Homo-oligomer: A and B are copies of this chain.
Amino acid sequence: AGDVEAGKKKAGVCAACHGQNGIAQIPGYPNLAGQNEAYLVSSLKAYKNKQRSGGQAPVMQGQAAGLSDEDIANLAAYYASLPADGGK
């Protein structure tokens, strides 16, 4: 499993679209807070491998291209750890 604290440090750029608390403020962008950790790993790898091309996928292809497997595991652990309701 990933390292939540390391993921948090890596997540600065993600927050621009997915929100500081993992709740996206922009329609069309997914909330990540509380998402299933294994799914987050799977989807980041799919973007990195260019296996997703619909919607805003090109944006995420670019973002994921520079992530190592360890980065992906850490980011997934971090977002999965956040409260799904955004900490209301």
Measured CB to CB, the nearest residue on chain B to A30 is B39
Smallest Cβ-Cβ distance to A49: which chain B residue: B54
Binding stretch for chain B, among A2-10, A21-29, A67-75: A21-29
Tell me the number of copies of this protein.
2
For chain A, residues 4 to 52, give those with C-beta under 8 angstroms from any C-beta of chain B.
24, 27-31, 33-39, 42-43, 45-47, 49, 51-52
Identify which of B27, B35, B52, B85 contacts A46 (C-beta below 8 A).
B52
For A30, give its contact among B36, B47, B57, B85 (CB under 8 Å): B36
For A51, the closest partner residue in chain B by CB is B54
Contact A28 B46 (CB under 8 A): no
**A42 engages B24 (CB within 8 Å):** no
A49-62 interface bits toward B, Cβ cutoff 8 Å, 1 = contact, 0 = none: 10111111100000
